Structure formats: C-alpha cells, structure tokens
Structure 1
Amino acid sequence: MKVIYIIDSLSGYGAEKSIVQIAQHFEEVTPIFIHLKKGDKLKPSLELEGIKVYSQALESETSFKEAVNSIIPIINKEEPEIIHSTLFRADMVARKLKQVFPHIFLVGSFVSNSYGVNRYRQLSPLSRIKLFSTQLKDRKTAGKVDFFVCNSNAIKKSNIKALGIPGNKVKVIYRGRCFEDYLPTAESVSLLKKELNPEDHIVFLNVSRLHKGKGQLDLLKAFKVLNAQNPKLILLIAGEGSFRGELENFIKSLGLEKNVFLLGYREDVAKLLALADYFVFPSYFEGLPGALIEAIISKTPSIVSDIAENRECFVENGALFFKSGNIKDLGDKMKEALTIKDWKERTESSLENARKNFEIKKVSKEYESFYKKIVKG
C-alpha cells in the first residue's frame, strides 16, 4: 500500500519531525513525501531509508491551483491508495486534489489546537481576524476529507467543534519517539557540558520553535526574577523561528546575556536533555508536544503550562503545572522545582506511561492498521 504525504515543509519541527519518524518505521506501508515549501532538513534522513521525497520548493505566494497542478503528475505516476496531508497549506492543496482524484482516500491531520481559546486569546485583534478567516476556510473544505488522524484527545475535542466534523471521522493516534535515541553516552554529555555550562550552573532548558505562542517571553520574565535570587542558574533555549529577533532584544534589555542562550536549531536534543536539570515548556497552545515526550523519555524534571494538550502527556503528578500566561506562577513553579525531593519517582512514573503510549514502533503500527482498515472499508 502506498501513502503519499503532502506537508508544508520538512524543516524539522513538531508535526514534520513526528510524521517522518512514524513513516521511517513502517513495515507494510510504502510512504512517499511531497513538501510544498523550502525547508528540507529532514529530507536526507528519509532518503537514507529509501523513502522518495518530491521537493516542490514553491513560493509562499504560489496559488493553491498552481500547487495542485504541480502535484497531479506525481499522483498519476505513484498511484497511491491514500493521500495524507499535514498543516494548513498542504491541507488546502490536498482537498483540491481530492476533486481530481475522488477515488483516492484523503486523510487529514490535527496536529495543534489551532482554533482554541488559548490561541485566540494571545493574538492581537487583527491577528484574530486573520485566524478566524483561516478557520472558516478550513471548516468550509473539511467535508472533502474522508478521515482525520489526531495526535491527542484534547485536540480532537477542540477541532471537531471548531470545524464541525463528526467525531467518528477522527482517529486519535499519539505522536511517537524512538526511546533508544534518548540514551546519549556520558562522554558526549560531558563534552557538551564543557561547551555550554563550564561553570556548572543549574540548567533550565526549553526546546521549541521560537514563536510568540510558545510562551518564551513569559519564560524570560520569570527567569529574570529567579536569576536575581540565584545567579547560579542558566537558561538554554533550543529552536529557531521568526520570534528570534524579539527574544534577542528582550534578553539584552533584561541584562541576561550571560545567563540565557539561544542555541538555534539543534540535532542533539537528547544530549541537551541529559545535560539539563529541568525542562520548561510555557506554551499557550500545542498539539501533543513532541518536545515534552522527549523530556519524559529523558526523565528530565519538567515545569509545563497547564493546558489539556500538555496534561495528556503526563501521569497526575508527573510534572509541575502552572497557569498558562501567569508569569508569577511560572516563576514560583520553577523555584519550587529546585526544592522537590521526589523527582525520580515522578519522572519514572511518567516514563512508564510514555512506554505504553509513545513508543515509535507501536505508533507506526497503529497508523498502518488505520490505513489498512479504511482501504478495506
């Protein structure tokens, strides 16, 4: 069985990283990738596994019609049983392709709480209008999709309401990770420590795309207060994005250049997690966050925003939760984390839960079973 994945880009974050890792562990499905825009960090890893990748490198202003016309020959050549789209632009293109290829099953993805209250709340009035316009386009065309795969129960609940989709068209399958990838050698972690933390400070780590909705400005404000009380703290932020300039300026304005470091996009997240004393995740909205799953696998004590998407990753007391957007509460929880004595028990419990739900081979098998089921009717 062939499944063609249409995705906005293969730049290496969130949804892109997750679907690539899932596809790499298929045993019965032949995956083929088409990415619409520039950004192909993940392309070599796919090709190394013998997975075909078609890079369109379309400009952002390219119309959906042009994108569809560029993909039609690929569909005719590959003859897939299923087209599976991920992220908004890819969704819109795939839904137009459905009109050309009505006999091919179309599967969409719910990877984020895109239209939830928390996202709207942190936007400017103009941005809210733009997002609502996007939501209307999404809702209007969602009926063309045969089925959706959703990465969490929280996201399913939010999106079926926002887009008016029957719940029985949505299958929840969690994101997965290869647990063996998060066992770096002591020597490699020691070398990284010499590079990033030579003075042996206590390390807080955030791994996320640099974006306003990820709450990194809140994190900097909370860290400033905590660092004034304890100068032996550093904050590492791993990730890249359009918000970088604003974060750099804010770090300078707070005088935190010696204690906060923007590391950019990193391929060595497993080592960073092993180096870190605490993981901090202050997002306003998420999908099922892969970065949190990675922190759980690495047994890194975590302080996370109390949103349903994050809660679903942990057992009841597996992390410290703070009210999203509440800087004082975030700072208080970071301070509390320094005093907790039973982190080992908490992280072990969350790891055991993760083994049941997020192991990559189990997740990939769930995808394959789902695809076979819909093709067989």
Structure 2
Amino acid sequence: MQDERVVVRHGLLRTRRWSLRYDVRALLVCVTLAVLAACAMVFAIGTGTYELSPPEVVRTLAGDGPPGAEFIVIDLRLPRALVAVLVGFGMGMAGAVFQSLTRNPLGSPDITGFGNGASAGALVAIILFDGGDAQTAIGAVCGGFATAVAVYLLAWKRGVHGYRLVLVGIGASAVLGSATSYLYVRADIGKAAQAATWMIGSLNARDWGEVRIAALGLVLLVPVVLVCARRLTMLEMGDDTAGALGVPPERTRLLLLCAGTGLTAMAVAAAGPIPFVAMAAPQLARRVTRAPGPNVLPAAWMGALLVSAADLATQRVTGSALLPVGVVTGVAGGAYLAWLLRAERKADRV
C-alpha cells in the first residue's frame, strides 16, 4: 500500500493523487465570518423577555441550561436563528453567482427579477391556495424557475450577455411587481396583511419547517456551486477564453443559473425576499478578501452574518422581535448604496 502523504504549503494542499489550491486570506475571512455569525446567533437567541446570557445559551444548547430555558431556546428561538444563518448563506452565495455570471454588481437576484419570481410563486401558494410551508416552498421554486426560463430566453441572442440578462431581469421584476399587487387586490384583508409582512422579509414565527426548507436548498445546491466555482472564475474572463480553457460557456452558465435560482427560491420560501443581502454580501466579501473571482464561500458567510446581525438588531434596538428583518436590511442596504455612490463619485468613476 502506497504512502498517502499529505503536503500542506502556503495556499496548496496536495497528496499523491490530488491537489487543492486555496487562498489563505479568503479561508481566514470565511472562518472569521462564520465565528461572528455564530456569536450573533447566540446573542439573538438570548434576547427577549426571558433574557439569557451567552454562556447560558451555550449551556442550554449543550443540554445543561437553567430550568425552563430548553423550551424557549430549542423550540422558540433556535429555529429563527438557524433560518437567519441558512437564508443569509444561500442569498449571499446566490448573489455571488449572479453577479459573477452577469459581471455586474447590480446582477443580484433581487434586482434581476429572480427573487421577485420566487416571491410571486410563493404568494400564489399563500393567497390563492392557502398553502403551508411545503406548498409555499414549491410555489417559490416554480415561480423562480419560471422567471429564470423566461429571462434566459428573452436575453438569448447567440448566447446570453450579462447586460442583457440584467436589463431583461429588471423588466421582468417590474412585471412581477404588478402581478404581486394584483394578488394583494384579490386577497382578503387577513391574507393580504400576512403576505405584506412576509414580502418585506421576516423571521417572525419561524419554526423547524422553515429550517428544513432552507437546509434542503443548501444541501442540494451548495455542492453544485462549489464544484463549478472554478468554471465561474473562467467565465468572468469571457466566453472565448473559457471555451479555450475547456469550459462550455452556455452549459456552465445555465447550470449555475439554475443553482442560483434554486438557492434564491428556497431562501425566499423560508423567510421571504429579504432585500439587499444578495447584492451587498458579494461586494463586501470581495472588499474583505481582496481576491478576484466570485468569492462564493466568503459571500455566503457574509450573507449569513448580515442576516444574523440584522435579526439581532431588530430585537435589540426595537426591544421586540416583531419588526421584519427586511426593514433593517433595507435601511442598511440603502445607506450602503449611498456610501458606495459617494465613494465612486469621489474616485471620478461616475
């Protein structure tokens, strides 16, 4: 039997049979973001009328908490915190995929209509069919993929160019917004109010059903994105260069488009369309890692941190968990866009 020695060097993990190259700074960023997201999750679980310190939360999760804390932590608060992490992770990764495919920072699913398609499909299930968690998830997936197919076909002209995909997606987003308004008009007042709260992006009353929905999307689709991450980097160089390096551009683009749409749809099904996370997470991750390429894993962990921190802020600042987390991400996203525009103007790029 041959000696299967593992050699670890700066940015390279190699054995006799295979090798893996990685960016050390990006790896450290991922670990740091994951730790920060876990800390935000622990603080969020401890926040509420029944206040718990971080050590008490950790002990309760380990099965040795204060009397009566297990029901509050495990059954009431942990599902909400897990949904925040899982949804943020999926949205961040989907945003990195779409922005890389379109080679445009505005090419995130909530701008190009893919998120709106998932939202419209979920609203059809909620308002017209009075669907539960499973029906809402199916509606979101169907709506997201139907929108993806329509946008892809309308943007096709001897291939799909990034700018065409963004422009067609913005048009599709406007049409879907009108369809959503029509669904509100058709609904009774109770369902319309429920749908309006859900459409802002909310983690209120999340349970283990939503955790399973978000986790299922990640388990099925994250490996697809990670396997194709190198191809995604080559696609950023242009279709001709990618084809010369052995990467089929349209087939790879279609596969990643499906994976990103699926991640978006499952995230929307679990928590609603939380705004700006998919757009901001990849840009912030790229600034932190200072690495070229899509940065799919750093963007995913950045998204998890953003949603977890926003959930913590809704509870700490307002003193209530009833405020939809989408309100916080929307305000923060608007401030981030204003800061980014000011920085671009100072640099004379706009």
The two structures have a TM-score, normalised by structure 2, of: 0.26
Which protein is richer in strand relative to its size? Answer: 1
The two structures have a TM-score, normalised by structure 1, of: 0.25
Which structure's relative contact order is higher, taking Cα pairs within 8 Å and 6+ residues apart? Answer: 2
